[in-house]
Amino acid sequence: MADKIFRVNMTTLTTSVEEVPAAWAGHGGRGLTSTIVAEEVEPTCHPLGKRNKLVIAPGLLSGTVAANSGRLSIGAKSPLTGTIKESNAGGTSAQFLAKAGCKAIIIEGQPTEDKWYSLAVTPAGITITEETKLVGKGNFDVIKSVNAKFESKVGVLSIGQAGEMKMAAANISVQDPDGGLRSSGRGGLGAVMGSKKIKFISIDPQDGTVEIAQPEEFKAANRAFAKALVGHPVSQALGAYGTNVLVNIINESGGLPTKNFTQGQFAGHESISGETMADIITQRGGKVKHNCHPGCVIQCSQVYNDAKGNKLTSGIEYESIWAMGADCCVDNLDQIAEADQIMDDIGIDSIETSVAMGVAMEAGVLEFGDGAGILRILREEIAKGTGLGRIIGNGTGSVGRSFGITRVPVVKNQAIPAYDPRSIKGMGITYATSTQGADHTMGYTIATNILNVGGQLDPLSKEGQVELSRNLQIATAAIDSTGMCLFIAFAALDDETCLPALIDLINARFGIALTGDDVVNLGQYILKTERKFNIAAGFTEADDRLPEFFYDEPLPPHNVVCDFTGEEIDTFWNF
């Protein structure tokens, strides 16, 4: 069964199944979402208006048994940044879309009536149904209700109250293999889905399968690829402690942003560390290792139980723990986990929202360290859409503007995540130059700056950081197109068998003959396509800069500032 494009017009409430244009055939995941957004969306359009489009695409290897290939890409013009945006997540939907023969879903237009709808995806196409019962409900109620309607397992994408209210930090939630939630978190894509008046999307692949052009070659490549992944020491550390293994490591480096980016170390770091978290999970009968999508061999997710042994949340990441923990000075993992569960339910980015809380604390809305106050604001303000709730729900920049705060850690209005760019300078280049606002996953220089993966580069020195970030951003764009988890990059940088095995997987899947140069060219094409969209939307080199305070305020304990000139940052695009 050849893959098709499934198109949905919410203005006319019609759907169609289309052939894949030849120019799109070699793309998947982020490569495809960015290609379609760049081709079909007016760069100057209002992100919440009828001219924006929401594009959902599995990766090139989605739906296969390839290890770690279950990521789903969702793209649009971002209501948070105003840039092109791709956000990806695990869960089961990528695999199910691929098995349904769907290359991408393109959702355009807006309903003319004030009604909500759901979409049901099958191999035959998409059905639009008016939705009344689940409007106003949280994501967990949606997942439970949708699953009850099907005899077999289905994929579910949904928005919570934040998406319905079109908050700029709203995410799109993706059901995972255990009925939990993963998030396409960054950039406010839940608000775009809300602007289309779509509450949820169900994906039933029925008996669909993905055809492999060269099955034996595919099996051999997958064995080599999986072996490289599980054998890497960073993969093993992630499996033991989750991504939260980084708390102590980044704190030791002096790059753990604390108290709204005024310090580089957090006195309470041990209380929120991955090691402490693993001990608590074990004591309470949770799961230290857990997969966010089928076929994951790293298993960096986890299931965190409360003190009574009941599941509280799953898949809570280092960046989210840092944001409410060190940045807001909360050293209570139970409060952090409860906040994560609430944010999952109301459908809002746990990085953006928690960093916004840190700025709100600087404004005096809360005291630093007030975890109970954060929980109250999430429940009573954001979930209910009060004035304060909307200010925080619209992101970190919104809080800074509303309260007149100048220490606002954003680039292109998106919150800077868990690595201070003054003391980990490679991340500063990634945050400044990313086509999608500050985003650690775009070019994760922590690999080389801190973990010594792919070599070593002093995080306190400017030397080589632009080239490092550039190379990683190119590689990441290509990885995001395959449907692979970003964490394959550790093995790809260190194990000479890993990247060739990945290329062999793609070649065997489609019966083609890609080379390493083709992969690099793909990554470069994606970055250039995204940048071209942003330039047409009005962005200039002046937007590729960090906030002023990073240049002016030395960060303890190293007492360093960002010291890149604008000219040095701009050399990033010399390729």
| 293, pLDDT greater than 90 | no
CA distances from 88 to 180, 280, 317, 331 (A): 16, 29, 14, 29
The DSSP 8-state label assigned to residue 245 in this structure reads G
With beta carbons less than 8 A apart as the criterion, state whether 336 and 322 touch.
Answer: no
For 113-211, where are the E strands, in sequence order? 116-122, 125-131, 155-158, 172-175, 181-184, 198-203
Q: How many CA atoms lie within 13 A of 112 on its CB side?
A: 5
Sheet strands side by side (includes 311-314): 287-290, 301-305, 311-314
Per-residue confidence at 22, pLDDT binned at 50, 70, 90?
A: very high
Per-residue pLDDT tens digits for 490-508 = 999 999 999 999 999 999 9
**Residue 152 confidence (pLDDT):** 85
**Residue 292 confidence (pLDDT):** 87
**Residue 2 confidence (pLDDT):** 78
Per-residue confidence at 356, pLDDT binned at 50, 70, 90?
A: very high
| 1, pLDDT greater than 70 | no
Give the separation between CA 431 and CA 421, rounded to whole angstroms: 8
**Residue 247 confidence (pLDDT):** 97
Residue 88 forms beta bridges with which residues?
Answer: 73
Nearest 5°: CA angle at 562, between 556 and 563?
125
Instruction: Set out the domains of the chain in order of their start, with CATH numbers.
Output: 4-203 (3.60.9.10), 214-241+421-575 (1.10.599.10), 244-419 (1.10.569.10)
Residue 117 forms beta bridges with which residues?
Answer: 130, 198
Give Cβ neighbours of residue 138 (< 8 Å, ≥ 6 apart): 160, 161, 345, 346, 347, 383
With beta carbons less than 8 A apart as the criterion, state whether 545 and 566 touch.
Answer: yes
Give Cβ neighbours of residue 453 (< 8 Å, ≥ 6 apart): 234, 447, 490, 493, 494
Question: Smallest Cα–Cα separation from 88: which of 482, 426, 448, 353?
Answer: 482
Per the document, the length of the chain is 575
Give the separation between CA 330 and CA 34, rounded to whole angstroms: 37
The DSSP 8-state label assigned to residue 127 in this structure reads E
Give Cβ neighbours of residue 45 (< 8 Å, ≥ 6 apart): 51, 52, 77
Residue at 530: amino acid letter: E
Q: Is the peptide bond before 557 cis (omega within 30 degrees of 0)?
A: yes
Per-residue pLDDT tens digits for 430-483 = 999 999 999 999 999 999 999 999 999 999 999 999 999 999 999 999 999 999
**Residue 62 confidence (pLDDT):** 97
Per-residue confidence at 290, pLDDT binned at 50, 70, 90?
A: confident
CA distances from 112 to 66, 115, 135, 407 (A): 43, 8, 18, 41
Per-residue pLDDT tens digits for 399-430 = 999 999 999 999 999 999 999 999 999 999 99
Per-residue confidence at 179, pLDDT binned at 50, 70, 90?
A: confident
Residue at 563: amino acid letter: D
**Residue 294 confidence (pLDDT):** 84
Give the separation between CA 55 and CA 123, rounded to whole angstroms: 18
Residue 9 forms beta bridges with which residues?
Answer: 14, 108
Kindly report whether the global pTM for this prediction surpasses the value 0.85. Answer: yes
With beta carbons less than 8 A apart as the criterion, state whether 195 and 166 touch.
Answer: yes
Structure tokens, 107: 């959702």
Q: Determine which helix (DSSP H) or strand (DSSP E) holds 87, and give its type and residue range.
A: strand 84-89
Give the separation between CA 514 and CA 386, rounded to whole angstroms: 53
Mean pLDDT along residues 72-100: 97
Note the helical H segments in 308-386.
318-324, 333-346, 350-362, 371-376
Share of the chain above pLDDT 70, in %: 100
Question: Smallest Cα–Cα separation from 77: which of 342, 436, 501?
Answer: 436
Share of the chain above pLDDT 90, in %: 95
Give the separation between CA 503 and CA 356, rounded to whole angstroms: 40
Residue at 7: amino acid letter: R
Structure tokens, 190: 């839940």
Give me the chain's average pLDDT, please.
96
Coil vs helix vs strand at 61: coil
The DSSP 8-state label assigned to residue 380 in this structure reads I
With beta carbons less than 8 A apart as the criterion, state whether 170 and 191 touch.
Answer: yes
Note the helical H segments in 232-273.
233-241, 246-253
Interstrand relation of 198-203 and 155-158 (parallel, antiparallel or unpaired)? antiparallel
Coil vs helix vs strand at 161: helix
Backbone dihedral angles phi then psi of residue 373, each to the nearest 5 degrees: -65, -35
| 395, pLDDT greater than 80 | yes
Burial 73-103 (b: 16+ CB within 10 A, else e): bbbbbbbbbbbbbbbbbbbbbbbbbbbbbbb
